[in-house]
Amino acid sequence: MPATATVEQPTPDVEATFELARNHFGHVPNLVRVLASNPTMCASVTAFFAQALRDGRVDWAFKELVILKTLRAIKAYYSYGAHERLAIDLGNSAERVGDLANSLWRTSPHYTDAERAVFALVEQIGIDANAVGDDVWDELKRHWDAGQLIELNALITTFVMIGRTGDALGVADPNLFSRSVS
């Protein structure tokens, strides 16, 4: 049970946000319906959320692995199952999803060095964002450009927000996308 109301009939001031959600996700996710009690925050949080879940400077398939690793690292599991299915639908193997666990990603043959560098950043942000060492950034900068690194850091921290907000408000979204993503 969510902590606040789930808006089924949008008021005029959230209709545009529901429309954006329908176009992007195929339907209006429950998180968006719960945020809709506050049309202003619903609009900006939904827009940021939707911007993260698409191909960008970094491809969406890998971004889903980063999201899963982030939710694990911060121990907030809002829509974890939906992201697992999305990761597979976008072309990741079961091994690439499963090996994210614990420290398995460090030795798994299913990731590139570039991908491992990002998981190291995620883990360190989960432990203490103040202590991300130069070694972590040096490795990241070997593989990714500045625009990609801002996108990745924004993605990781967006899911710090989305994971905690969804969990705190008690929202469940078994599926985020009802449209085809592949």
Partner 1 sequence: MAQLPYVEPEDADAVTAQIYNSAEQRFQMVLNIFKITGHAPEMAEKMWQIFFDILQDGQVDWPTKELLILKSTKMGDCLYCVTQHEVVAERLGVSPEKQADIVGVEYRHSPHYTEAERAILDLTSHVVLDPEQIPSDVWARVHEHYDDGQIVEIVATIGAYLQVSKFGDALGVELEAVFHGHQPVLFAKEPPSSKAAQQHFEHFLANTPSA
Which residues in the 134-173 window bind partner 1 by CB under 8 A?
134, 137, 141, 146-151, 153-154, 156-158, 160-165, 167-169
168 is written with which tokens? 């705190």
Which residues in the 104-133 window bind partner 1 by CB under 8 A?
121, 124-125, 128-132
24/28 Cα distance (integer angstroms): 9
What's the closest the beta carbon of residue 86 comes to partner 1, in angstroms? 19
For 69, counting Cβ atoms within 10 Å of its Cβ (0-12 exposed, 13-18 middle, 19+ buried), the class is buried
Which residues in the 69-108 window bind partner 1 by CB under 8 A?
75-77
Alpha helices in 79-182 (DSSP H): 80-89, 94-98, 104-107, 113-128, 134-143, 146-168
Where on the chain is the footprint of partner 1 (CB under 8 A)? 3-5, 34-35, 37-38, 40-45, 47-48, 51-52, 56-57, 75-77, 121, 124-125, 128-132, 134, 137, 141, 146-151, 153-154, 156-158, 160-165, 167-169
